[in-house]
Amino acid sequence: MMPHSSPMPQILAPAGDRQSFLAGIAAGADAIYCGLKHFSARMAAVNFTAEELGLLTILAKEKGVKVYVTFNSMVKAGELERAADVMAELIRTAAPDGLILQDPGMVKMVRKSGFTGEIHLSTLANISHPAGLKIAHDRLKIQQVVIPRELNIDEIRAMAAACPEGLGLEIFVHGALCYGVSGRCYWSSYMGGKSGLRGRCVQPCRRLYTQKEEKNRLFSCQDLSLDVLVKVLKTVPQIRTWKIEGRKKGPHYVYYTVLAYRTLRDEGDDPKAKKNALELLEMALGRTATHYNFLPQRPQNPVRTDIQTGSGLLLGYVKGPPKGLFFHPREPLLPGDQLRVGYEDAPGHARVRVNRYAPKKSRFALKISARKVPPKGAPVFLTDRREKALLDRISALEGELQRISASREHSQAISPPALRLPKSRAHPGKRLNLHVYRKSAVSLKKAEKGPLGIWLEPEKEKPGKTSPKILAEGWWWLPPVIWPGIDGAGELGWIERINGLAKSGAKRFVLNSPWQMGLFSDPKEMELWAGPFCNLANPLSLWAMKDLGFSGAVVSPELGKEDLLSLPEKSPLPLGIVLFGNWPLCISRVLAQEIETDTPFTSPMGEAAWAAHYGSNYWIYPNWPLDLRENANLLEKAGYNIFIHLHEPIPERVSIKKRPGDWNWVLDLS
């Protein structure tokens, strides 16, 4: 095999608990990423204490394995002191090689803590287009960026070509796919206060939905698996890391996916090795896999309603009468195997532990409580496996951990320096009710009456047809996600559109990602506001926006009453808030073929929503608006001065429901 001219990418393994961490080491991962019990984007995983992680990090470094810790949760204002304490303890106790962050404000905190390792931006930070990379590297000194899973190889190459010297890319090669773009999904939060941005997503996209009397899992994605296609990534030197998703998975999954991608990386030109790697991936207990958008000439929609998308390996279907249930497994069952019968949201859902060997296609009795009887035909999934060979390897590493623990000197806890925020506070200006429309839905007569917000459309703008008054006074809104590309809907099209408007007199833009500042030729000449999709939730985030050059900021609408009311007092920028309007459940790049846009669909709880198509993205809207209007005076007194009303064209077939739209105002956002 010919030598490779550029450094080989490292394989980054997930770990949600100690055994999975050790499985990553046993499989030969180059690096492992994991989270603490606080401030992690996978709070459903077991996760680690700083002390436990300290021992594991020592072992990993002895084995030549790097450790990256995720601190990628949206942090609320009242949590900053706690976050600083946790960060200080982590750095002192575990000294990881790098931190993976979502919030630019946390980057400021880490810098002040004295941390000397690498700082990576999580995919939740949503750097989705090339120009954003320079902002992240030059202004925040980021060393690596996790790019979105939605990109195809041509778009990945465009991102790589835009990398400043010293910046690397991290790309997902395997694991679960979210329906919504990372950092742009509010579905779980909107339906009950469990925020995906805070690692507590309850996966409403995996549920059954009904449109036109057809019930199906209209948003449940297959898993991503680039498998043999990863050889293409080896030709892109800026891609430093192949990342495997799965911090909620067990050690079996971690072990086999790492082995598979090590084989594909190191021996991918050998047909036998490739075949072996694919067999290893089949053993990893994932969902049915897709290449998604990776091949632009052959994109695959990850949402398919004709296959099972439950987590785990599908082994068969329940047979028999209500008593004496059984199934015929498609693969042999081993003692200790964990089975899940049915979907987690389906009646009769149950978990079964296998206590004896069962051959392939044998009759395996399902011993399930009478209170949880699954229906005939319910799918049976293998969700975890603890084979002896792997357990023996993990046990040997456990012994090494005990040696490290016995010899390690446990240092006394050291109080971190107090978190001091700058004293400067912005003085709110005159109250403005800003109504934001799609350009196609705004009449010029309405626009001439006063300043208003206008969503920029993917089609090329024609400033000559827009009056000087509208150009000068309008608030021009950029979309929450901009993708690479040279067409009108890609990054270069947006750069042309934005700078054309600016030359014609437009002065004020609302950016819905901080990295969109890279689209402006001279941002200092503009009045730029950080929009609500920037997910700003604490004073450090607002200070980070000020340092980047923003003139004001719209806070995250996910926040509850106390968090919203406390922010203006410590903000260096004038603040806006979404007071009323159509806020999306999520933004996605795909839509199931079975779904009609502008047509309502309903959840099992009777909640209705619809999908709208704008440019390269699909917006999913609930049929009731966010509505905090009765709290406007209280919010103004707290210090907000821009009150935003979002107006979306309502499809003829959609009925807006009258129900409280206070979202998390009365909830403690978790």
d(CA 224, CA 215): 24
To the nearest 5 percent, what fractions of the chain are helix, strand and coil? 30, 20, 45
Question: Of 322 and 383, which is predicted with more confidence?
Answer: 383
Alpha-carbon dihedral of residues 142, 147, 153, 158, nearest 10 degrees? -40
Q: Tell me how long the chain is.
A: 670
d(CA 479, CA 475): 13
At 373, is the pLDDT very low, low, confident or very high (cuts 50, 70, 90)? confident
Residue 588, classed as helix, strand or coil, is strand
CATH topology of domain 10-177+222-285+390-403: TIM Barrel (3.20.20)
pLDDT given for residue 415 in this prediction: 56
Return the half-sphere exposure (C-beta side, CA atoms, 13 A cut-off) of residue 504.
Answer: 20
pLDDT given for residue 575 in this prediction: 97
Phi, psi of 619 (to 5 degrees): -110, 130
**Pairing, β 326-327 against β 364-365:** antiparallel
CB of 47 closer than 8 Å to CB of 75:
no
Q: What is the mean pLDDT of residues 23-46?
A: 81
CB of 163 closer than 8 Å to CB of 231:
no
The CATH homologous superfamily for domain 432-583+625-647 is Aldolase class I (3.20.20.70)
Strands (E), 304-450: 313-317, 326-327, 338-341, 350-353, 364-365, 379-384, 432-438
Cα separation values, 428 from 425, 431, 493, 543, 635, Å: 9, 8, 35, 16, 12
Q: What is the largest CA-CA distance in the chain?
A: 78
Strands (E), 73-121: 98-101, 118-121
d(CA 231, CA 274): 11
d(CA 124, CA 42): 12
Mean predicted lDDT score pLDDT of the chain? 90
Tokens 């929503």 belong to residue:
609
Q: Where are the domains of the chain?
A: 10-177+222-285+390-403, 294-384, 432-583+625-647
- CB atoms < 10 A from the CB of 119, how many? 20
Residue % of the chain over a pLDDT of 70: 93
Chain centre distance of CA 495: 25
What DSSP state is assigned to residue 430?
A: S
- Same CATH fold, 432-583+625-647 and 10-177+222-285+390-403? yes
pLDDT tens for 315-362 read: 999 998 766 889 999 999 999 999 999 988 888 889 999 999 999 999
pLDDT given for residue 548 in this prediction: 96
d(CA 552, CA 668): 26
Q: Among 29-43, 410-424, 491-505, 623-637, where is mean pLDDT lowest?
A: 410-424
Sequence-ordered list of residues with C-beta below 8 angstroms from that of 116, at least 6 positions apart, any chain? none
**The tokens of 374 are what?**
């699954």
pLDDT given for residue 669 in this prediction: 76
**The tokens of 303 are what?**
């949402």
At 440, is the pLDDT very low, low, confident or very high (cuts 50, 70, 90)? low
pLDDT given for residue 570 in this prediction: 92
CATH topology of domain 294-384: Elongation Factor Tu (Ef-tu); domain 3 (2.40.30)
Tokens 């991962």 belong to residue:
29
Question: Of 409 and 327, which is predicted with more confidence?
Answer: 327
For 623-638, b/e burial (b = at least 16 CB within 10 A) is bbbbbbeebbeebeeb
d(CA 364, CA 197): 41
CB of 501 closer than 8 Å to CB of 461:
yes
Radius of gyration for the chain, computed over Cα atoms and rounded to the nearest angstrom: 25
d(CA 300, CA 305): 13
d(CA 587, CA 617): 7
d(CA 476, CA 511): 9
Q: Is 243 exposed, middle or buried (0-12, 13-18, 19+ CB in 10 A)?
A: buried
Q: H helices within 4-78, ranges in order? A: 18-27, 50-62
Strands (E), 176-238: 209-211, 214-216, 223-225
pLDDT tens for 549-590 read: 999 999 999 999 999 999 999 999 999 999 999 999 999 999
d(CA 337, CA 339): 6
CB of 543 closer than 8 Å to CB of 105:
yes
**Pairing, β 144-146 against β 338-341:** unpaired
At 412, is the pLDDT very low, low, confident or very high (cuts 50, 70, 90)? low
Residue % of the chain over a pLDDT of 90: 72
d(CA 244, CA 566): 38
pLDDT given for residue 43 in this prediction: 47
Alpha-carbon dihedral of residues 468, 474, 479, 480, nearest 10 degrees? 150
Q: What is the pTM of this model?
A: 0.93
